[in-house]
Amino acid sequence: MQRGTFQQMKSVNKSIILNKIRTSEPISRAQIAKETTLTPPTVSSIVKELIVQGIVRESELGASQGGRKPTMLLIDQTAFYVIGVDAGPESVACILTDLSGEVIERTASKINKPITNEQFIAIMKESIHQVMRSSSVSKDKLIGIGVAMHGVVEVEAGISLIAPNLGLTNIPIKMELEAEFNLIVQVENDARAMALGESWFGGHGELESMVAVNLGRGVGAGVVIKGKLYHGSQDIAGELGHMTIDIHGDVCECGNRGCLQTFATGKAIAGRARKEINGATEMLTGKDVFQHALAGDEAYIKILQETGEMLGVGLTNLIHLINPEKIVLGGGVTKSKKFILPAVKQTIDQRVLTPVAKRTEVAITNLGDDATLLGAVSLLLVDLFDPL
């Protein structure tokens, strides 16, 4: 717990006002005072500071409500910029955005394996240098670099502990990038970054809690509670992929049986199709299953529906433990949402314990391919807009 000081009192109010403007812009000072229960003078004085800082600006006057016209306030989305990096198993993508998440510049570099820690860091550095060079954004307007890294990440230290798909361990990302660029660097697991991005840019409004699930090569999830990522005590909260739902099921790469991952990844879907469908080729991929299902082949449709059911079982367990207000699904597998989503929803509806819990919303992300990159960006936006 933070101790109570004047600075803290003020920064609380500053955050409240800044977030109110962000979520309700354009908005007048008087309106802010009403909606936040802060007094008008307090709002005025803090808004004045925010304007000096450049993060808020006055726009034209709004419509009068029967008296003086209000001066409307806006976030100056171009006051600051952020760099987001998505360090996946096959490539490093990098974007530079303004505060609204609008992409100003982007790059992507393929990773040639095998690779060393040094080479990997070098690729990240070069990507970041590149977006900085290509854009005309001056460096003092950059507030930091957010990195979404696959694998296991130690968040505080900013170290990638295990990056299985690169075969690397203990990469000191934060330290290296801070030394190179002299900017704030935040490193986070990719599924979790995606979750934060989803809560920040996904248009879900103010949720008390949400979970975003990334269905791709693995099954990862991020838990966002009151706008903040929940890490757990050892940074593994949300490790949905290796939840056991069938103790007698197939062996997972982790060594256990019946993990959710053995049902819900693209690879698992393809594997099950090859096993259960006569005439399925050896080279069948998850995408192929989707194509066949789209073409109306019942056998493949059934595979996808079963996938949805298993996912529904896993998500029901998640609802019973974490009970989020909303669950958002993203990642490659959600391309098959037409077949999977109804099965997921139906399964949850059947299995969940109480009637109220049935109200848990389940939706597909609408951020598309940039979800993780925007998540990386949001790591820093949270610092700026909601630091408490």
Partner DNA sequence: CCTTTATTATAACATAGTTAATTAAGTTAA
Partner DNA sequence: TTAACTTAATTAACTATGTTATAATAAAGG
- Least Å distance, CB 53 to DNA, is 14
Question: Does residue 205 touch a copy of itself according to CB under 8 A?
Answer: no
- Residue 67 in contact with DNA, rule: CB under 7 A: yes
What is the spatial distance between Cα 46 and Cα 166, in angstroms, rounded to a whole number? 47
Give the total of residues touching DNA (CB under 7 A).
Answer: 30
Q: How far is the C-alpha of 109 from the C-alpha of 87, rounded, in Å?
A: 10
Helices 286-294 & 298-322 angle (0-180, nearest 10): 120
DSSP 138-195: -GGGEEEEEEEESSEEETTTTEEEEETTTTEEEE-HHHHHHHHH-SEEEEEEHHHHHH
CB of 375 to a copy of itself, least distance (A): 20
Contact 89, 166 (CB under 8 A): yes
Q: Does 71 bind DNA (CB under 7 A)?
A: yes
Query: Is residue 68 at the binding interface for DNA, with CB under 7 A as the rule?
Result: yes
Residue from 64, 112, 138, 233 binding a copy of itself (CB under 8 A): 233
Tell me the three-class secondary structure of 333-381, residue by residue.
HHHHHHHHHHHHHHHHHHHCCCCHHHHCEEEECCCHHHHHHHHHHHHHH
- Nearest one of 156, 110, 177, 327 to 238, comparing CA atoms: 327
- The listed partner (a copy of itself, DNA, none) that binds 285, CB under 5 to 8 Å by sort, is none
Q: Which does 28 bind (CB under 5 to 8 A by kind): a copy of itself, DNA, none?
A: DNA
The residues in 352-381 that bind a copy of itself, with binding defined as CB under 8 A, are: 353-354, 356-357, 359-360
Q: From the list a copy of itself, DNA, none, which binds 242 (C-beta under 5 to 8 Å, kind-based)? A: a copy of itself
234 touching a copy of itself, by CB under 8 A: yes
What phi, psi does 155 have (nearest 5°)?
A: -70, -50
Dist. CA 84–CA 376, nearest whole Å? 5
For strands 103-110 and 142-149, give the pairing: unpaired
> What is the H or E stretch that residue 315 is in?
helix 298-322
Which of positions 5-44 make contact with a copy of itself (CB under 8 A)? 5-6, 8-13, 15-16, 36-38
Which of 30, 155 has the CB closer to DNA?
Answer: 30
For residues 83 and 94, is the Cβ–Cβ distance under 8 A? Answer: yes
The site string for DNA over 11-40 (x = CB under 7 A, - otherwise) reads --x--------------xxxx------xxx
Instruction: Enumerate residues 107-136 that contact DNA by CB under 7 A.
Output: none
322 contributes a contact to a copy of itself by CB under 8 A: yes
CB of 49 to DNA, least distance (A): 9
Residue 44 is inside which H or E element, if any? helix 40-53
Q: How far is the CB of 107 from a copy of itself (least distance, A)?
A: 32
Query: Is 175 an interacting residue with respect to a copy of itself (CB under 8 A)?
Result: no
The binding site for a copy of itself (CB under 8 A) comprises: 1-6, 8-13, 15-16, 36-38, 152, 161-162, 208-209, 223, 231-240, 242-248, 254, 256, 258, 310, 313, 316-325, 351, 353-354, 356-357, 359-360, 388
Residues in contact with DNA by the rule CB under 7 A: 4-7, 9-10, 13, 28-31, 38-42, 44-48, 61, 64-71
